[in-house]
Amino acid sequence: MTILYITYVNSTDNSSGSGVRPAKMLRAFQQEGHDIITLQGEQVSKLRLKNIKTVRKQIKCETPDLCYIESPTYPIIRHADRKLIKDICNAGIPTGYFYRDFYWQFPDEFPRRTSISGRIKDKGLLFLQTLTDKVLNNCNIIYVPSDECKSLLPYKDIRSLPPAGEYHLDLIKHECNHTGIYVGGIGGYYNGRFLLDVFNELNKRNAEYKLILVCRENEWNSFDHPCKNASWLEIHHTSGSGLVELYKRASVAFNVGSSEYKYSRFAISVKVFEYLSFGLPQVVINNKAIADLVNGEKIGFAVDYDIIKYADATEKLMNDCKLYEEFQKNITSSLLERNLWIHRVRKIVNDLSTIKNNEVQYE
């Protein structure tokens, strides 16, 4: 099957969730044996326009069976990109669009800029968002990260397509121990202060509990907390393959996105599935989308935004070896049966092929 795959980053950009997901999806499409016509590149680059022209020529010679689009973080900026999507849909090519981010729907939590230049930029982005939303009415299916997100958009056919994992369980054999790991942002919404408060509470108890914290160096340098130099805290600034040895040493992973943010109800971080990929049971804050995943797959605990409750859950998972082994078995079945990137690709191909087949039968 020939698939036109459109993304707004380069396939080699794995530095953040916005770059990881498109790269993983492309690899999964290729692993499934599909012929892929790709449109990549940063939105504002001159190369983007050249790539759009190249793709237009390609699809005139070989009409794709399907089109799948991984959205940018910001709205679609270029008119040429929006026109391409509209033309693809008008040509009858079944098209699915993954709508990644909804931060702009939460202005109280992600405040608009107050300077004159900032206000102008924000108004411009909102205008571009309106144009983006309008062109998406042409797409057959709008995919979102979780079922919770469906309430945020007005489109007729909205389906959930969360992130996914890769099978790395053959690289690591975890044992129940007192070391946890967190990878990601630590300021604001990401709530690193809360996690350090939890480990401070744990280390007031009988045993020593260690936290491996992985974040950007500049963020750590500006971060302030009474436990910043605690003996139980180990800081790293790495990513990609540099994480593997750290994952091997940990027994439990954490996600502490603050429940004080409404946005947290809708978000499922790609990091949750990376933890899953390396066999790590998780303790997460009881936010709806991520809690449904963790509880539904039975791969850890989702607990209230409370230091004592979070510490209790962490302590139990790090000391109850029988429960720990049960969670690890669930992780294996969760990955192999439904939560690898190839499962996401198969869903897209099945969804859009069904639309195409139905249209053929109708004609």
List the structure tokens of 204.
């007031």
User: Strand pairing of 210-214 and 252-255?
Assistant: unpaired
3-state secondary structure (DSSP) of residue 16: coil
| Cα within 13 Å of Cα(121), Cβ side | 8
- What DSSP state is assigned to residue 113? P
Residues 6+ apart with CB under 8 A from 75: 125, 128, 129, 131, 132
Residue 292 pairs in a beta bridge with none
Amino acid at 19: G
65 closest CA partner among 2, 157, 130: 2
The full DSSP string for 41-71 is S-TTSHHHHHHHHHHHHHHHHS--SEEEEEP
Residue whose tokens read 């709508």:
99
Q: What is the pTM of this model?
A: 0.90
pLDDT tens digits, 227-281: 999 999 999 999 989 999 999 999 999 999 877 778 888 888 889 999 999 999 9
CA–CA separation, 320 and 318 (whole Å): 6
- Residue 360's pLDDT band (cuts 50, 70, 90): very low
Distances (CA, A) of 253 to 94, 157, 269, 343, 361: 39, 35, 13, 24, 49
Contact (CB, 8 A) for 318 and 176: yes
Residue 303 confidence (pLDDT): 96
3-state secondary structure (DSSP) of residue 5: strand
Contact (CB, 8 A) for 314 and 209: yes
Q: Which residue has the higher pLDDT, 220 or 268?
A: 220
95 closest CA partner among 361, 360, 353, 359: 353
For residue 317, is pLDDT > 90? yes
pLDDT tens digits, 12-26: 555 555 678 999 999
Residue 210 CA, chain-centre distance (Å), reads 26
Q: What is the layout of strands, in order, in the sheet containing 300-303?
A: 233-236, 210-214, 179-183, 252-255, 282-285, 300-303
Tell me the helices (H) and strands (E) count for the chain, helix number first.
12, 12
pLDDT tens digits, 47-85: 999 999 999 999 999 999 999 999 998 899 999 999 999
Residue 12 confidence (pLDDT): 59
Contact (CB, 8 A) for 215 and 184: yes
CA–CA separation, 95 and 58 (whole Å): 17
